[in-house]
Amino acid sequence: MTRPVLITGGAGSVGRQLVEKLLESGRSVRILDLPVMDFSGLEDRANVVVVRGDITNAEVVKESVAEVYGVVHLAALLPPNSERDRDKTFTVNVVGTEAIVRAMERGDPDAVLVFPSSVSTYGDTAAETPPVSTDHPLRAIDIYAESKIAAEVSVRESALKTVVMRIAAIAVPAFLEPPKVWPFTPDQRVEMVHRDDVVDALFASVDAPDVAGKVFNIAGGPTWRLTGRDYVEDFYEFVGASSGEAVYREDPGWMDWYDTAESQRSLGYQNRTYERYAGEMRALVASMMAE
């Protein structure tokens, strides 16, 4: 069996898809996630080992990273939960990441660490000229972004081979309730990314040549460059409701359009246009209505 790729947070939506993609490529996989997670469909499979535990537990982390080929560190406390308790968010997102880094430095310093960060780390860029590049200053406007900036420092200053991915808001082809307040203004630039393209980027980063030490923006590409109003009106059209119900932020949030030329060149992940996503959403709603 090949040395496994460890996926922290591997029982989540993105993690599960990444597991399948790695297995299909002939890789073995180790999953570290909280005991409360649903591991159905992951356990008792060839080339999959499940570790139930917390990334802030040094012993669990040490066990999990032992003899790995690489680590994709998806585990994190995400919004809106991240905004409710700063200390808890920093414990999970920063202390947990530091535990991964330390364990890898001591046990598997040649393994690659893929760290999914966030474009929210750029803060409010609405008054600037797009697209936002990876050399843009980092300036958090919420707790989650603040924690990701701190975790990035630990990753980038480590002695490991690392790939940092600042990922845009992920669009999931599923029927979801609209938020009470959309996280952008009507005229704000918005570029999301299809969930499956994120999985492709993560998968490619494990073995892509010459990516160690790189920081990438991961976003959908030109077809995904909309305004907040465009996105919201499409969303309500997909679900057959009136966009007049939408409530927007009064001031710009952290979304924008992003420079993804280098990440696309290195990882080749922008495989699903916005038009394809729109078609998936319409087909999903039509199928639900026909039931």
**Which residues have a catalytic role annotated?**
144
CA–centroid distance for 19 within its chain: 15
- What's the DSSP call for residue 248? B
- Cα separation, 135 vs 66, whole angstroms: 34
Comparing C-alpha atoms, which of 70, 6, 58, 8 is closest to residue 37?
8
Buried b (16+ CB within 10 A) or exposed e, 202-228: bbbbbebeebeebbbbbbbbeebbbeb
Return the SS3 of 164: strand
20: helix, strand or coil = helix
The full DSSP string for 71-111 is EEE-----TTGGGT-HHHHHIIIIIHHHHHHHHHHHH-TTS
In 3D space, the residue among 105, 98, 111 whose CA is nearest the CA of residue 56 turns out to be 98
Phi-psi region of 280 (alpha: psi -120 to 50; beta: other; left: phi over 0): alpha
Q: Give burial (CB, 10 Å; 0-12/13-18/19+) of 19.
A: buried
